Amino acid sequence: MRTGNYKIYVYSKDKTMQAPSGQVAIIKDVKISKRKETVELDTITIYN
């Protein structure tokens, strides 16, 4: 990927039942500052 700021997102079932659609977006911000840099995120849990 190119250097820059990215948003990684997934959709998950809303366990709190507060979202009208029943789904919520889980968004993680990531910054890549060097070419060929390896970036690791924490585990993202998705509920079905």
pLDDT digits (tens, 9 = 90+) for 1-47: 899 999 999 999 998 889 999 999 999 999 999 998 999 999 999 99
pTM to 2 decimals? 0.74
What is the domain partition of the chain in residue ranges?
1-48
Bridge partners (DSSP) listed for residue 10: 26
Q: What is the pLDDT of residue 1?
A: 80
Q: What is the pLDDT of residue 48?
A: 87
